[in-house]
Amino acid sequence: MAIKPQDCLLVTIFATNVRRRRLGFDFSQEELAERAGVHRTYVGMLERGEKNVTIYNIDRIAGALEVEPYVLLQNLEHAIELDR
């Protein structure tokens, strides 16, 4: 049985990290989309966890956000808890 993107923890982690990083740069979704070479509605769907992202687009978005792709897949909430 297929899992919906919004029901997958990794999709949620990716969405949270992209949004957090984008806002840190003060980019609009449109600006991030332009920098990554994707459609602006795609960025919105990713940030809402509605769309499953490909490895190819993870790489493009990571480049636009000036971070290694694996960083967008790390559970930062868990990492913060471990630092305490």
pTM of the model: 0.84
Residues 20-59 pLDDT 10s = 999 999 999 999 999 999 999 999 999 999 999 999 999 9
Query: Which residue ranges make up each domain of the chain?
Result: 5-83
The 3-state DSSP class for residue 31 equals: helix
Contact 74, 13 (CB under 8 A): yes
Dist CA 60 CA 30 (whole Å): 14
Q: Which CATH number fits domain 5-83: 1.10.3720.10, 1.10.260.40, 3.40.50.720, 1.20.210.10?
A: 1.10.260.40
Residue 10 has pLDDT above 70, yes or no: yes
